Structure 1
Amino acid sequence: MLPEHAPFSPEQRPAIEALLSQFSPGQRHWLAGFLSSDLAAPVAAPARASTPLTVLYGTESGNSEALAALTVKSAKKRGFKPVMKNMSEIEPADLAKVESLLVIVSTWGDGDPPETAVSFHESFMKDAVDLSKTRFSVCALGDTSYEQFCKTGKDFDTRLEALGATRVLDRVDCDVDYDEAHAAWMDAVLDKLAPVAAPVPAVVPAAVAPVAATAFGKKNPFDSELLEKVLLNGEGSAKETWHYELSLEGSGLTYEPGDALAVVPVNAPDMIEGLLKAAKLSGTEEVEVKGVGKKVLADALREDFEITVLSKAVLKKLQAVIQSDELAALLADDAKDELRNYLWGRWTADALAEFAPDGIGASELVGALRKLPPRLYSIASSPLAHPDEVHLTVASVRYEGHGSQKKGVASTYLADLVNCGDAVKVYTHANKNFRLPASDDTPIIMVGPGTGVAPFRAFVEHRAETGAKGESWMIFGDQHFTYDFLYQLEWQDHLKSGALTRLDVAFSRDQPEKVYVQDRIREHADEIFAWLEKGAHFYVCGDASRMAADVHEALIEAVVTGGGNSREEAEGYVDALKKAKRYQRDVY
């Protein structure tokens, strides 16, 4: 008999019970296993037995690595014999032996390869490798808000073909909302690489699989309670940096020092109002949201779409609707500099006001927008020091652009719209490329200006909890000692306890000449090199556009000065640190 809570109507129950009564216990057991497994779904054609497949990835924040792992898992189910390779662990010549190759690689910033792939990318673009026996396809990750969208993936796609490899499926270029595009590419390319006419008979599961508990993650963010919210800058500072403490109790979410927390924001009311005004819409219109269904426009703009960041991709979609001669000229191939200048500091509402003075339809508006992406923030806490909690250090982004006040979506969502006790949708994001050394005895050097200090707060807390014996050196920088010394009292406590061995600071606005963290590295070049020689790991976190490059240059100079090396030798030394994962960066 079916239990009373079984989800069947009174009309269905007798028919099901009558059918089940005809089956033996063994038949019922088989049917239960069948219905509870993936075998109830259509079975894709498998590959030939143990077909070799190499999945090569290049990642900055871990997205490409996660997709590579997903691809390997799917390939195994189809009968492939896949191997997963990080670009930091392989040489271009190794690909000559690969017959089936899938490349999943992200583009960092405005056209650069990810940190772990820089050396491989450089070698691959110039080394002559015979890939005439290789079949390949590329999945490129990027961000349409940057001009050089998916450039690294495009580089690999072009170069593979130039070296004689055969493209079995066209490259797919994924925006920040990449899951659906990757899944379609993965299924199609695995079919292409190993088509088989006859399916393999299904294997009957030995027992009924238990129903999995709800797992929180990217597709199901956790509603985290905001426990604490503290402004870190003193009165008189030009900055607005907040310390946030969020609860993970009951979520099952875990993290390690170096990982990030994804915050799923909503757009602020004034952002929505500005866009509706520019589009000449009321917000009460009904629109279709992919994967969600019909929604009121104002709600969709609040929860589902990126409504601020203006990019070439958005302008091209708007132009297809509004057909503006002025916008067409701006999008012309010979106007790249003009377009770059126009995009800086402007929002979608600014473009509508200028090029579509009569407004635009609701469906056309949302059709030009991309999905609102989560924002990743470096975690500023150790799970050992703060069980069931996760801490963030976030600078609120606010500026004036083209006659109106602008602000960052997620940073001001936390600052302006969330109060203690409110829920914030979050999930943890692993960053395997930014980890403490395996041994607690290994020395570490941490360079973190501004909010770049966040992961190092986690590092030092973690080492304090584990009783690590390895020395630790923090180089911190900001504008003013009085206003902007983030976590000053904590660093002093760690210095007293010995969890932090040394602290050097650089406050750029406290003297006539500006002093930055890279200047401190140059000043202490001999000691920096001595620490590296005894095995220290070197970490950098913060702004990618200038700081990270300046620190990299200062590190090379420190190896020249401190070690008496030539420039070429120093560059090789630093490259070796990277390959050994002793030089790691978390830059944004």
Structure 2
Amino acid sequence: MAELDIIDLIVLTSILLGTLAYFTKGKYWGVVKDPYASAFANANGAKAGRTRNIVEKLEETGKNCVIFYGSQTGTAEDYASRLAKEGKSRFGLDTMVADLEEYDFDKLDAIPDDKVIMFVLATYGEGEPTDNAVEFYEFIIADDVTLSESHDPALGNLNYVAFGLGNNTYEHYNSVVRNVDKALQKLGAHRIGDAGEGDDGAGTMEEDFLAWKDPMWAALASKMGLEEREAVYEPVFGVVERDNLTPESSEVYLGEPNRMHLEGTTKGPFNAHNPYIAPIVESRELFSVKDRNCLHMEIDISGSNLAYQTGDHIAIWPTNPGEEIDRFLDVIGLTEKRNEVISIKALEPTAKVPFPTPTTYDAIIRYHLEVCAPVSRQFVSTLAAFSPTEEIKAEMTRLGNDKDYFHDKTGPQFYNIARLLDAVGKGEKWSNIPFSAFIEGLNKLQPRYYSISSSSVVQPKKISITAVVESQMIPGRQDPFRGVTTNYLFALKQKQHGDAKPEPFGQTYEIAGPRNKYDGIHVPVHVRHSNFKLPSDPGKPIIMIGPGTGVAPFRGFVQERARQAQNGAEVGRTLLFFGCRKSTEDFMYESEWAEYKKALGDKFEMITAFSRESNKKVYVQHRLKERAKEVNELLTQKAFFYVCGDAANMAREVNAVLAQIIAEGRGVSEQKGDEVVKHMRAANQYQEDVWS
């Protein structure tokens, strides 16, 4: 009887296991892998098991050239990709592009001398490396660099190329590439060509890059014995149509940034790879005049693990406006196929698809490509080969090769890629261009960073944004040039208030997001930490210079000091220099400053400069000079000095005025005054949050 029970038990168990297997097939086992699925599906795009040893990677892939990038906003990454494509097409180099944070650098001394390393490095903020380049930068410039002692000098084997991206309005212009270049030379590495420098402050970044790369390629070809050949477009990515899928298929990405967002299982950490879909709990216009208006928004982060400190930045992930998406699809002949499902497949092992797939043409253009940015001359040159007629090809070739002609024809119009193709093509469709060329040649749509205008002490779970909606009339163009993100925010504000304004741009954004996941007025965000901070001792005096939206972080600073005073803290002298056009037009947060004054009393003073209320234009730097005696006295008390706003003019002039104030107040030369300001910067007593 016991024997029968055992047999029955075995049979029943087998039936149960078979039933379980049947119902779990395709979910827990027997899963059919999508051959075109993107590795980008994970939140950070990283591949499990990837080697961090660059020497091993070069051996595995047979590459002889690696281009490392240190990028904060995507430009350096774009230049790295362009160098890789050009090296392969013009000289037959086996190239790969690599993110600096994905590799270790203790094996640089083992890289064979028949290979070349390129560094494309942006300088961020006050001479800092970009987030993804911090570990590399600290390693390479450390005084106690610990590299293998098998070579003497340590990096005598290493051949390298260097290009930096910087902004001459900052004190430490292109310091990252300069310091890396200096450290590599000190370690015996061999630089090929000059170390190039692009200047975003002068607006010449693109032309600086183009002017640098041709002599660099000549030097590299000579060094490595390369022969130039006729450059022919070779796609890095393949586009595969997925006839078995529709936009409604659950595995199709319609703009979701990663798999968690697609599957609705989103969780932190929220960062530059994984945004939090945050509700906008309040939005209003601080002012609205003929040519511009200013938004105030409150973003609720209480449903996330995001945290910020006063002075940090919030990143807004925008979407492109529908009008420009329609224009782009139309000019390349893809309007009818906009919702077809496609997969993007890397055609060589080291290439990374820059967004998750399968997806649609519409989703790629709406959420992933910078289709509104000014077109680059190099990309125009690349597309010339795909021109619809020989006449158009000749024009595109001239635009791509003639710098002055290109800027005369495209600069005043602020042409993006679709508008340029439309203008040059004169109604012809550019259907010969492989879609892969756009994925490779256009920048990724990047988050935009805004100074947070609230205090984390006062409202730790609500982030304030202050932004002027950008709109610029262009001569000869019917519609104005509009900022992508500020107009996206304006559209969200309109939706929240149920506004029925006639401007079409306010209605052309896909406000609800992919699959309506942003409905209820949500926006994708993450927080970027900043070094722009109040002194830890609230008793320290502070001097703040913030015209226009440059006042944003100072609203947070003063808000925090007012709370500290209410809580009984001894708060130091707090001077705010604010400038705008007219007291009756664009005086931001006017009523709030009066409230803070009640809390801070004589400790707080706001000095205003209204540039258009008299015949003589008055700016914050003029008001600063008028208060020279008090400013100098506060600086002798170790006051912290802050500047936020336009880097090219205002910040530079404020710096010069401060040096004059110090020189005159202390009876020293202006050169000595300059040196004092530099020492203040080095000691973090002088801080800037500026943009060009």
**TM-score, normalised via structure 2 length:** 0.61
C-alpha displacement of 1:85: 5.9
Equivalent positions of 1:134-173 (< 5 A) are 134=189, 147-149=204-206
Q: 2:49 matched to 1:41? A: yes
Judge conservation of contact 1:526–1:561 (CA < 8 Å) in 2: no
Judge conservation of contact 1:440–1:463 (CA < 8 Å) in 2: yes
CA distance in 1: counterparts of 2:203 and 2:22, whole angstroms: 58
Residue 282 of structure 1 corresponds to 335
C-alpha displacement of 1:61: 7.9
Q: 2:124 matched to 1:59? A: yes
CA distance in 2: counterparts of 1:462 and 1:104, whole angstroms: 43
Aligned pair in 2 of structure 1 residues 42, 282: CA closer, same or farther (>3 Å)?
Answer: closer
Residue 273 of structure 1 corresponds to 326
Aligned pair in 2 of structure 1 residues 244, 407: CA closer, same or farther (>3 Å)?
Answer: same
CA distance in 1: counterparts of 2:299 and 2:403, whole angstroms: 48
Partner deviation per Cα, 1:209-244 (whole Å, 9 max, x = no partner): xxx96321111100000111110015x564300000
Equivalent positions of 1:251-330 (< 5 A) are 251-282=304-335, 284-285=337-338, 286=340, 288=343, 290=353, 291-312=355-376, 313-322=378-387, 324-330=393-399
What code does the residue aligned with 2:430 have? I
Residue 431 of structure 1 corresponds to 530
1:226 aligned residue (256, 280, 295): 280
Residue 657 of structure 2 corresponds to 554
Aligned pair in 2 of structure 1 residues 221, 352: CA closer, same or farther (>3 Å)?
Answer: same
Higher alpha-carbon deviation: 525-534 or 238-247: 525-534
Partner deviation per Cα, 1:135-176 (whole Å, 9 max, x = no partner): 789999998996424969999xx99xx9xxx99xxxxxxxxx
Aligned pair in 2 of structure 1 residues 227, 144: CA closer, same or farther (>3 Å)?
Answer: same
Residue 421 of structure 2 corresponds to 352
What code does the residue aligned with 2:614 have? Q
Equivalent positions of 1:504-583 (< 5 A) are 504-583=607-686
Structure 2 stretches lacking a partner, 5+ long:
1-12, 29-45, 56-103, 110-118, 146-151, 225-265, 345-352, 497-519
Q: 2:521 matched to 1:408? A: no
For the residue of structure 2 that corresponds to 1:514, the secondary structure is: coil
Judge conservation of contact 2:542–2:575 (CA < 8 Å) in 1: yes
For the residue of structure 2 that corresponds to 1:242, the secondary structure is: strand
Residue 573 of structure 2 corresponds to 471
Judge conservation of contact 2:123–2:166 (CA < 8 Å) in 1: no
Judge conservation of contact 2:123–2:175 (CA < 8 Å) in 1: no
Partner deviation per Cα, 1:26-63 (whole Å, 9 max, x = no partner): xxxxxxxxxxxx9983665699x995999999421898
Q: 2:551 matched to 1:453? A: yes
Residue 243 of structure 1 corresponds to 296
What code does the residue aligned with 2:617 have? K
Partner deviation per Cα, 1:255-313 (whole Å, 9 max, x = no partner): 11221110001111222233334445425344555332243323322112111111324
Partner deviation per Cα, 1:170-216 (whole Å, 9 max, x = no partner): xxxxxxxxxxxxxxxxxxxxxxxxxxxxxxxxxxxxxxxxxx96321
RMSD: 4.7
CA distance in 1: counterparts of 2:578 and 2:201, whole angstroms: 33
What code does the residue aligned with 2:588 have? L
C-alpha displacement of 1:478: 0.7
Aligned pair in 2 of structure 1 residues 213, 440: CA closer, same or farther (>3 Å)?
Answer: same
Aligned pair in 2 of structure 1 residues 139, 381: CA closer, same or farther (>3 Å)?
Answer: farther
Partner deviation per Cα, 1:557-580 (whole Å, 9 max, x = no partner): 222333333221111111111111
Judge conservation of contact 1:508–1:514 (CA < 8 Å) in 2: yes
C-alpha displacement of 1:515: 0.9
CA distance in 1: counterparts of 2:47 and 2:23, whole angstroms: 28
Higher alpha-carbon deviation: 370-379 or 564-573: 564-573
Residue 455 of structure 2 corresponds to 382
Judge conservation of contact 1:142–1:150 (CA < 8 Å) in 2: no
For the residue of structure 2 that corresponds to 1:240, the secondary structure is: strand
Higher alpha-carbon deviation: 345-354 or 439-448: 345-354
CA distance in 1: counterparts of 2:130 and 2:582, whole angstroms: 39
**TM-score, normalised via structure 1 length:** 0.71
Judge conservation of contact 2:122–2:176 (CA < 8 Å) in 1: no
Judge conservation of contact 2:454–2:556 (CA < 8 Å) in 1: yes
C-alpha displacement of 1:66: 1.8
Judge conservation of contact 1:478–1:484 (CA < 8 Å) in 2: yes
Partner deviation per Cα, 1:68-121 (whole Å, 9 max, x = no partner): 34548xxxxxxxxx747699xx9xxxxx99869999996234xx3854456788
CA distance in 2: counterparts of 1:393 and 1:587, whole angstroms: 15
